Chains A and B, each alone.
Chain A
Amino acid sequence: MKNINIKFIGVFLLMILVLGSCKKWIDTEINTNPDAPKEVPMSSLLPTIQVNMGYNTIGGNDNVRVTSMWMQYFAGIARQSQAQADYLYRDLDVNNLWNSNYATTMIDLKKLLGKAETEKHVTFLGIGEVLMANTLGVTTDVWGDIPYSAAFQGQANLTPNFDSQEAIYTEIRRLLDDAIVNLSNTTFKGTVDGDLMYDGDKGLWLKAAHALRARYALHLSKVSSGTTAYAEALAHLSDAFGSNDEDLAFNFQDADAATNPFFQFMDQRGDMTMHKTFVDMLNLRFDPRITQFAALNPDTAYVGADWGETGENASVPGIAAASPDSPVPFITYVECLFIKSECLFKTGDEPGAKQALYDGLKASLEKFGVYSDLYYNAYVAQMTAVTGDLLFKEIMTQKYISLFYQLETYNDWRRTDNVIGLSSNPNPASGSVAGEIPRRFPYASDEKAYNPNTPAVTNIWQRVWWDDTTPRK
């Protein structure tokens, strides 16, 4: 028995020894993911932000592709694109866009801004502010009231309040004004790495800040008193872009998994062609830009699909929007010239407005590489007698053509209450408001489900604050 007891105790001691090592064996440090960094430099956040803005926030297949069907650049001929062209755009269709804007673009911008402030890097700070202002702008323009002041707090606030669109616009202005101060700082010598758009050139970022400041001032033209919006926009244009080369645009690459989102859509999904409205408009004007906007159809003509057509014979979108390396413009010199034209017109300077229109057209033709004196001069000759409402319609029409496949034309269309005269889809999806093109996006179903503060929206014909001229309560 003694023998057994010794062994028994010996083995038991060993067991305890093993247990004693538990503390080291169970070290919660092991639960730190070795494949995910806890901190990264600003230079590796900025590329993510810019790529995601180009691919989703600004140039996304869930926003500009859809508004471009509503704006009749394109026809949706099959599957989901057809439904969207019929104004069936549901809450669950925008989850990707909403979540991408908040949980990639803006949270990463918040991180970038926080780091830039800690590191007192005013250039990164200014760039971050410009991109945040731009993101807030495109987000609020399709959704109206959106979370911002209570957003991005993670566990601390899982159901952020929504800020009014008016408050968001105040924040856009504040961000851009602050960016202008930061980017004008000449004493700061820090450089910027990871800038895929301007390669860290803060002078260009400063111009972009002014350009965006002008755009977002103009957006309030319907709801601000008198001509203050136009005057405010004009005040910033002189410090904005001076040439096409200075455009703020994201350049996709003709390399696999680096290509333009709309190219990828057409490549992987198809289902879309040019729309009759737009193609007819350009054909009627003999506008040379059609060679860039559309591809020749099988009969080597430019043909758009009419409502309800399956587009067998229609042209597909051209190289301006749908080639692998098509850039996604955020804001351009051409847009600035058209903002100038509209603002001068609205503040009573018709000759100035007309000149800016010509400059805008010229810059656009040059941008697409199809400028000719012949076409330009013929246009100018045709326009000499045009004044008043007709001139304004032409300014907005030229802007509509020149800003092909950009979100901004949908804003212009709403802001100017369809001055360019688009007719709506004659056979929209059931539940549509007859004869009306939608005026907003629905809130994302995810946000609605998980954030009870999400405002109720009747339908996508309900207008956002700056689009709504009915008296406010």
Chain B
Amino acid sequence: MRKFTLLIAFLLLVGLQGVFAQTRVISGTITSSDDKLPIPGVTVVVKSTTIGTTTNLDGKFVLTVPTKYTVIAVSYVGMKTQEITITENAILDVVMEPDIMSMDEVVVTAIGIPRETKALSYSVQNVSGTELQKAARTDVINSLQGKVSDVQIINSAGVAGGASYIQIRGVQSLTQNNQPLFVVDGIPISGSDVGGAYGVDGVATSNRSIDINPDDVESINVLKGGAATALYGLRAASGAIVITTKKGKAAGGGRKVAINFNSYLQFDQVSQLPNRQNQYGQGSAGNWISGNSQTWGPMIDTCAYFVDPNFIWKDYDVDGQIVSNKSPNANGGAVKTYDPYEFFQTGITTNNSLSMTGGSDLSSFYFSFSDNQSKGVIPNNTFRRNTFKISGESKLSDYFKVSGNANYIISAGDRIQQGSNTSGVMLGLLRTPPTFDNAAGYQFSEGYTLPDGSVPLNAGRQRSYRHSKTNPVIYDNPYWTANMNTYKDQVNRLLGSVQFDYYAATWLSFTYRAGVDWWSRKYKDNVAVGSATAPGGWSKNGAEQSKDFNSDLIMTIDKDFAKDFNAKVIVGHNMTQQYFQGLYADANGLVVPEYYNLNNTPTVSASEGTTKIRRAALYGDLTLSWKNMAYLSLTGRNDWTTTLPDGNNSFFYPSVGAGFIFTQLSGLKDNKILPFGKIRASYAIVAKDAPAYQTMTYYGAPAVADGWTTGIIFPFNGYNGYTWGPGLGNSELKPEKTKTFEIGVDLKFIQNRVGISYTYFSNKGEDLLLNVPIAGSTGYTTMFMNAGSMTTKGHEITADLIPVKTKDWQWTINVNWSLINNEVLQLAPGVDNLFLGGFEEPAIRAVVGQPYRTIYGLDWKRDANGTVLIDADGYPIQGDSQVALGNIDPKWTMGAGSDLKWKALTFYFLFDIKVGGLMWNGTRGALDYFGTSQGTANRDETFVFEGVNEQGEVNTIAVPLDQSWHQGGGSGFTGPTSPYIEKSNWVRLRTVTLSYSFTSMLKKSFIKGLDVYFTGTNLWISTPYTGIDPETSLLGASNAQGIDYFNMPGTKSYTVGLNLSF
């Protein structure tokens, strides 16, 4: 209720507004210093008021200004903003200078406050919407890849609608979300932090950043450090992605509305797949065995088919039985091999978006509609998104402005089972022997019997390489799972906000902004009767809804207190509520196959979950500047939260920052070599609260299962059950804190042709909250506590160069490089490692003394020097306890982009380089057991393992790398994990774009702009990783990156697009 009272009061105050009789009229033409041509769409405003206009197509404007105002600001994207003092009616012709090095660039900082980059004491990086558009990525976040220093983005799976993980400057929190806060036009929304974290099995879902239409984005600003995000407080503890969307403006050029149409067509292909062996067939011990799980059968060259109409598996092994080509039965010719990768198809994405904008001096609107449809590289994997946006702005008086926007988004996916899942596509596909043809049918008609009249368990329904009369199907045929096991979800989302700006005096303004982010997601996860993962089938249903409300009241004072002294004060108040509710109902065991309804089962289980969190905050920011040379900024914020216990739930944290533009000093001013130089430093503390409901112990629904089976779901036989814990509540929780220090320098050389920016930062997390595993004998298995401590230190360098700039040519190079060192200092008492995700073995864990995200698993037994111990037979000995096997995060990353323009032709490319960081290739580990991997082609060879025997002598025994080795120490299934840890370094051509602008050719037509472009994504990758594209994550957008276990392969894509405006 409060907020409405407030709005009404606001409006009443506006009513008090007096009428100003005295005005003067200013008019003029605005041109570019570059080509002397008029610039349409330039913003001309009276400073500190709502009064303003934009230039028309001829670069002309007319503005009526009350006499009490004397300063006019003229601004345009890519041009230096100018402030002009007026004293009388005047013709004002302004020549604008391009601001190619963005020195006076204005960026949107925390709480939506625009500031000049030069005044900031921390580093920011801004990416314009045009740059994003040609990257042609469905999820706008993916188009930031390689463009921003210290921002790591991992597209978790090459599937349509898969989630992307994003982290800024490493990680801040040990077990909580490390995804940045997404802020759209000042309103925090659900972004990459919501959805998209998968289990080791299931499907790859989207995270909510995918709902943003990239074509609506004007610019994205990445706020990295504590000082940058201090005003956003706890929700932005992991940084913030501040998105500014396109606003309505007068169309100009005699048009009522300006229309923009953007369209692209994209083709996706699987980029990289594991190598398989093609020499040996299905079976074991050199013998072909129909239905056998393994590929340790005979050498294919030595075999022939035996076609026998009475063979009971003749509909499975469609070419016949495999026998020696010397056998008298060999009547079917030589044995063929099949390429299971033919399963993949070319994915197609079409994206069409249309926007309209128009308006007058007093009001304007923007409308857009977009349709994005993707078909993945895996059959039946689709994603579709439609967005509608309308925004408007109206100046109710010279001092009062109302603006608002509403977005409606529908996104829907058809998703495919993946990962450690016997119905997962890659699991069944990669384990298939080269002698079995998955494509020769996946489903038998009803009532199918084997030639001997018997019905194999469930196999009566599914044709799969692994079959037997006594066991149901163990792995799904990939065609079966892609066609029969459907997972559909749909998101409906409404994002809206309203903002009131009130200029109370030349030095005082108020802004009130309220926004809601409401979305609902429904899914239906169907597994067909006869599938490996659930032979009885299931239909699982979920309905989730999320409602976030955010309100900010901001007072801004901007005043010159003395000569050369300016003070800017911001005082604000914030209220947020986050609410989430999920309702789930599962039908386990279907009576009628392929009928997916909750009533089609004797056993329905249901559950629900609700989360409600409220927060409030008071914040303030004081920025002092002296002669536009020295800047000092102080901020403070106090948060109140419901998730911490009374007494600990109110907490204050400050920041201080300073910037000094030393090139403003009299001796250094107007230097030709170094026109601009700034040093800056900041220190901030950011605190973060706990997740909801951790302060008490509760009864909960029991999870009666083990690591092997799906277990029991209550109610059991009509009885419901509860269990105490097993999470132990903690009544003494307090906020976790990150202390960040950042220092940097920004330099521009030689007519601003060379810009270099360097930042060093050091973060230290203290009292980090984590769900600590505790000894089971306490009666509980986990407890949330403030126990961890972690440091992250890093260096970031960005360099912008303009080697060539002539009338026709312009060549720019942008390079960013970042290095991060991270160390877990402390977990909890007795806890030297902490499970972040993965399997019992291996897992991604945080390990004390190691960088965050360590692969933790079994290794060979080693002597004191770390040399592998070899047993008397000549094979390495397996270790029996898990150890840290290496870190998954890169040592350094680099993005190098180059933009070459010749007249209307632009050629852009971006290399993305990652050095350091490991990945667990669990896929290869499993395939070594099954005998389908390239690594098992050496099965007839001998090998001398490097190591020492128990007497300390160097091993010299040559041993065969045969089936028994690969089903003992020599596979990831039965042996240690360490041989399957691989480097995931890469150099990739992330983006290459060739575009041509027909705009100047079409000058006389109704078409105002036409760009045509071709973009390639991931066209070339160089990596030592032997699996799929190492930009992958089994667990999606979760902290536990670095696991590849039958993940969906990554893709490369080719796009043709056009952008048309009229």
Contact = CB atoms under 8 A, between A and B. Distances in A.
Pick from B588, B697, B719, B929 the residue with the most CB of A within 10 Å.
B719
B528 interface: no
Given A21-B2, A264-B711, A3 B613 contact: no
B775 A158 contact: yes
A99 B704 CA distance: 12
Given A82-B974, A83-B974, A158-B829, A258 B716 contact: yes
Nearest to B458: A267
Interface stretch (A9-17, A164-172, A331-339, A357-365): A9-17
Given A95-B840, A151-B777, A270-B471, A257 B712 contact: yes
Interface string A410-453: 00000000000000000000110000000000001111011110
Nearest to B601: A256
Interface string A43-54: 011011001100
Interface in A223-282: 253, 255-258, 261, 264-270
Interface in B728-750: 728, 730
B775 A159 contact: yes
Contact of A19 (B573, B692, B717, B720): B573
Interface stretch (B31-39, B637-645, B1016-1024): B637-645
Interface stretch (B248-256, B875-883, B1036-1044): B875-883
B698 A33 contact: yes
A30 interface: yes
B6 A18 contact: yes
A310 B780 contact: no
B726 A33 contact: no
Interface stretch (B176-184, B382-390, B503-511): B503-511
Interface string B547-578: 00000010100000000000000000101000
Given A32-B693, A104-B723, A52 B609 contact: no
Contact of B293 (A78, A99, A160, A264): A78
Interface string B387-422: 000000000000000000000000000000000001
Interface string B853-896: 00000000000000000010000011011100000000000000
A316 B469 CA distance: 11
Contact of B726 (A3, A62, A99): A99
Contacts of B588: 256-257
Interface of A is mostly: helix
A158 B706 contact: no
B22 interface: no
B485 to A, nearest CB: 16
Given A79-B974, A258-B712, A106 B573 contact: no
Contacts of B328: none
Contacts of A4: 504-505, 508
A102 interface: yes
A18 B18 contact: no
Contact of A103 (B285, B471, B713, B779): B779
A449 B830 contact: yes
A31 B642 contact: yes
A160 B777 contact: yes
Given A8-B504, A154-B697, A15 B553 contact: yes
A110 interface: yes
Contacts of A55: 704-706, 711-712
A377 interface: no
Contact of A52 (B504, B704, B725, B833): B704
A17 B553 CA distance: 12
Interface string A436-473: 00000000111101111010000000000000000000
Interface residues of A, number: 106
A30 B642 contact: yes
Interface string A96-119: 111111111011101100000000
B616 interface: yes
B693 A33 contact: yes
Interface of B is mostly: loop
B776 A22 contact: no
B959 to A, nearest CB: 14
B642 A253 contact: no
A194 B719 contact: yes
Given A26-B641, A30-B612, A256-B588, A48 B973 contact: no
Nearest to B589: A256
A373 interface: no
A79 B973 contact: yes
A28 B776 contact: no
B695 interface: yes
Contacts of A106: 779
B779 A152 contact: yes
Nearest to B693: A33
A407 B830 CA distance: 33
Contacts of A56: 704, 706
B776 A44 contact: no
B490 interface: no
B778 interface: yes
Contacts of B967: 78, 82
A36 B698 contact: yes
B708 interface: yes
**Across the A-B interface, the 4 shortest Cβ-Cβ residue pairs:** A256-B589, A36-B698, A48-B721, A451-B775
5 contacts: A8-B505, A61-B709, A92-B881, A158-B778, A196-B716
Given A196-B719, A258-B717, 18 more contacts: A11-B504, A28-B646, A31-B692, A36-B698, A37-B699, A37-B722, A45-B723, A48-B704, A55-B711, A91-B881, A103-B778, A154-B780, A155-B728, A158-B775, A256-B538, A270-B474, A430-B871, A446-B773
